[in-house]
Chains A and B, each alone.
Chain A
Amino acid sequence: MSLDRVTDAELVDRARRGDSTAFSELVDRHRSAVYRAALAAVGSPADADDVAQDAFVKAYWRLDGFRGEASFKTWLLTITWRLAINRRRGITRWLRRTRPAVRDEADADGALDIESGARSPEQQLGDRTLRQAIVAEIRALPPKLRDVLLLAQSGEYSYEQIGAMVKAPVGTVKWRVSEARRVVKLRLHNRGYTDV
C-alpha cells in the first residue's frame, strides 16, 4: 500500500507501533525542510547534514512525547533548530579559540573579514558582484535577524513554524525579517551601492 496519501499523524501512529516504513516515509517528506533549517543555522552543509540526521533520530526516540498539539513538521523543526543552535554554539566557541578576530557567530564560515564600508565602491565593484556583497551582509547580521530572514526566504516554513522554532511570536518574526532587510540595505548603502 502506498503511503503517499497517509497523513503525518497516521504515519506517526504507525511508527509508534514499530512500523519503520512509516517513519522512513516521514523522513522522506520532511528531510528537505529539516536540512534547510539546519543549514540556515549552522551554515555548513556537512554540519547541516549531521544536525538533520540527529534531529530525525531524536524525533524517532521521542515519538511517544509527541502529543499532536502542533503538526509533526513543526515539532520536528523545533527539535532540529535546538540541535542546530547547540551545534552553532560549539562551532562558534571553537572558532573564537582559534580565530580571535572573528566578530560574532555569524562569521562562523570565515566569510566576514570585510569591514562594512571600509572599501571604496569602485574597489568593491571591481572585486565582487552586488550579490556577493549582499550575501556577506546577510551573514554579518545579528543571529536573531539572520535566522528569521533565511528561514522566511527559504519558502519552506510558515511564520508560525518559524515562531515555534525560534520561540518568538509571529509578529516578532515578521518584524525581524523586515529589520534584517533594512540593516542589509543600510550597509549596502554604506558600501556605496545605491538602490535603483
Chain B
Amino acid sequence: MFDDEIDNAARELTDAQPRADFAIRVMARIAAGRARRQGAVNWRWMLAPIAAAAIVAVAIVLGRGWRTQAPQPSQVAKITAEHPVAVVQPPPSPARSVGPTPGAARHASVTVSRAPVASPADQDFPGIESIRLVPVDMEPIDVGSIPPLSTIEPPTIAMPALELPAMSSGPASPIS
C-alpha cells in the first residue's frame, strides 16, 4: 500500500503543465535574442573600419618616431656592413657658431639644422615613400652683450733681495 501511495504522491508533485503560451514566450525570447545579436553584428561591422584606421594611424606615428631616432654607431656599422647603402653626408653648414668679437659686445649665435639622413629602413622597405625631414630654421638666440675684459695687472710684491754667498768652484760634494 505504501509503495503505491508513494508513487502516486511523487507523480502528483510533478504533475503539472506549463502555461498555454509557453511556446510563444520561448519563441519571442529567441527572436529578441536574435535581434540583439544581429544588432551586435552590425555594430561590429561599423567598428571594423574605425579600428583598422586607428591601427594604421598608430603604425604611422610609431614608424615616424622610429625613423627620427638616431641609430647607435654600432648599429649603423652593423647595418652598413650587412646592407651597404650610400650615406648622404649633410652639407657643410655652420651648424653651430659661437664667436666672440674682441673689443666689442659678444654675441652667441646658435643655428641648428638637421640634414637628411639615409636610413637603412629606406632600403628595407623600398615600396614605402621615405619620410625626409626638412631642416629646421631657428632664429638666432641673442645671449646678450658682455663688457670687454680689462687687462689684468697683478700688483707688485715687495720682497727683500736674497744675498747668496759665492759658490766655490771645487768639485761638488755628494749630498749626505
A contact residues vs B (CB 8 Å cutoff):
20, 23-24, 27-28, 31-32, 35-37, 39-40, 43, 45, 48-49, 52-53, 56-57, 60-61, 130-131, 134-135, 138-139, 149-155, 181, 184-185, 188, 193, 195-196
Contact = CB atoms under 8 A, between A and B. Distances in A.
Interface of B: 1-3, 5-19, 22-23, 25-27, 29-31, 33
B22 A31 contact: yes
Given A20-B31, A32-B18, A154-B15, 12 more contacts: A27-B27, A31-B23, A35-B16, A35-B22, A37-B14, A39-B13, A40-B13, A49-B19, A57-B33, A131-B8, A138-B10, A153-B14
A196 B13 CA distance: 24
A160 B25 CA distance: 30
A146 B6 CA distance: 11
A195 B22 contact: no
Contact of B1 (A43, A49, A196): A196
Given A23-B30, A27-B23, A45 B16 contact: yes
A52 B14 CA distance: 14
Contacts of B7: 153
Contacts of A31: 18, 22-23, 26
